[in-house]
Amino acid sequence: MVRGKVEMKRIENSTSRQVTFSKRRNGLLKKAYELSVLCDAEVSVIIFSQKGRLYEFSSSDMQKTIERYRKHGKEGQSNPFRSEGYMQQLKQEAEMTAKKIEQLEKSQQKLLGRGLDSCSFEELREIERQLVLSLTRIRETKAQLFKDQKEKLIEKIIVQ
């Protein structure tokens, strides 16, 4: 049997409203208990009925939890991502990353042979050394690949 979606509006019949309140209250308290046990979380739930009756659940001391909640709110730590210090840290990291990107782009341009007019003789010598090393590595890799392909072809011929 499939249940239909319940429209979220006040239940007019007081008996039905009371039954729904009791069932949902028990369900909520059960979920709070399960959350505290399964996830080792500090959970507190406070419910007041329409008639003012108090229902509560707390995985630890309710007063300590409420005090902790109040203290947490006063310190403004409820959202550490909005704190001024955190924003300043993010801004500094972004600036450092932007500088690093700019530096790498300049280096790449020099290795591609662009923008060399501003380089000193020593810088040009260093760029040349890096290019020679890169070319040597490329040639070694190419030679190894050629050797591997040659060996595979020889094995293929021998097997046939």
37-96 per-position pLDDT tens digit:
999 999 999 999 988 899 999 999 999 989 888 887 766 555 656 677 788 888 999 999
Averaged pLDDT, 96-112: 90
pLDDT at position 13 is 92
Structure tokens that stand for 147 in this block = 């050797």
Band (139; pLDDT cuts 50, 70, 90): very high
- Does pTM surpass 0.95? no
If we measure between CA atoms, which residue out of 136, 132, 137, 140 comes closest to residue 111? Answer: 132
DSSP 83: S
CA distance 72 to 125: 60
pLDDT for residue 100 is more than 90: yes
pLDDT at position 15 is 92
Angle formed by the axes of helices 84-111 and 121-159, to 10°? 80
Residue 131 CB-half CA count within 13 A: 13
pLDDT at position 26 is 95
pLDDT for residue 138 is more than 80: yes
pLDDT at position 59 is 92
Structure tokens that stand for 34 in this block = 């399960």
CA dist 135 → 46, 109, 128, 131, 141 (Å)? 72, 17, 10, 6, 10
Structure tokens that stand for 88 in this block = 């300043």
